[in-house]
């Protein structure tokens, strides 16, 4: 499993709860965080390198726990993984499926990074759901860095969030896709601004369910009686900083974090 930083730990948390018997290896590419405004072509090179690294370490399934990486480089990750006979679970499609199923008025919002919006990945995924949906996408370039840095919540923060939510309120969305794995950490703030009747769709639950289905379908799932699996961490930036911030996201102990070098891309 990989992400641009610690946001994907919200996805890992749900996988650890849903599939406690499985072993997980998580890579946070913190040296190149955030992905949201990076050059897409170079980012695709980076994603290929990360996929190779995780597969070299024996991954039986590759989970892209990053919305931007999924949006701009899912095909690259799939190509690398397919050469090893490994399946890929992205974060965009499972969220789109849930959002299309639960919206009552057909108005779905997407709050995400600039690269994710520009890719059109969520719009395409929602179009495949077989419903006539009105999709409103909003770029929130400052939100993920704010969350990753552990900045304090104050009135300036609320003003920023309100500005991002205003187009969603005008569009009268009743369902909002949190199009970045960092965003669940500020879901109470978003819920307050948008109102309790707006459903928020995070990636964690959706991806964990997709991971379980894929493992069982391919016959590579560990039996529930197999005991408790392990979870280990790699990062490309400062390991201690990753551990300190990541504990808040994972809501479990992180233990040791090993630093690795990625040559390609950014």
Q: Is 180 a catalytic residue?
A: yes
Which member of 15, 32, 165, 180 is catalytic?
180
From the candidates 15, 32, 66, 165, give the one annotated as an active-site residue.
Answer: 66
Q: Give ∠ CA 33-35-41 in degrees, rounded to 5.
A: 130
Q: Distance (Å, rounded) from C-alpha 258 to C-alpha 9?
A: 16
- Length of the chain equals 266
Residues 6+ apart with CB under 8 A from 234: 25, 26, 27, 28, 53, 257, 258, 259, 260
Positions marked active-site: 66, 180
């Amino acid at each position: 499993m990989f992400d641009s930083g610690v946001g994907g730990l919200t996805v890992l948390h749900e996988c650890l709860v849903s599939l406690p018997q499985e072993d997980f290896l998580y890579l946070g590419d913190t040296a190149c965080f955030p992905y949201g405004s990076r050059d897409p072509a170079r980012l695709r090179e980076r994603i290929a390198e990360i996929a190779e690294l995780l597969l070299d370490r024996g991954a039986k399934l590759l989970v892209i726990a990053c919305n931007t990486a999924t949006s701009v480089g899912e095909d690259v990750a799939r190509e690398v993984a397919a050469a090893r006979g490994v399946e890929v679970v992205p974060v965009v499609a499972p969220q789109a499926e849930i959002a299309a199923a639960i919206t009552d008025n057909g108005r779905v919002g997407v709050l995400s990074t600039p690269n994710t919006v520009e890719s059109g990945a969520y719009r395409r995924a929602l179009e495949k759901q077989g419903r006539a949906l009105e999709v409103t996408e909003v770029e929130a370039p400052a939100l993920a860095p704010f969350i990753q840095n552990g900045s304090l919540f104050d009135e300036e923060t609320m003003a920023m969030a309100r500005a991002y939510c205003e187009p969603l309120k005008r569009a009268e969305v009743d369902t909002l896709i949190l199009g970045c794995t960092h965003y669940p950490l500020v879901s109470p703030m978003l819920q307050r601004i948008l109102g309790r009747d707006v459903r928020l769709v995070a990636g964690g639950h959706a991806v964990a369910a997709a991971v379980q289905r894929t493992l069982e379908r391919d016959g590579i799932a560990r039996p529930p009686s197999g005991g408790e699996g392990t979870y280990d961490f790699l990062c490309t930036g400062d390991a201690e900083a990753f551990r300190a911030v990541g504990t808040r996201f994972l809501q479990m102990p992180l233990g040791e974090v090993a630093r690795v070098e990625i040559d390609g891309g950014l």
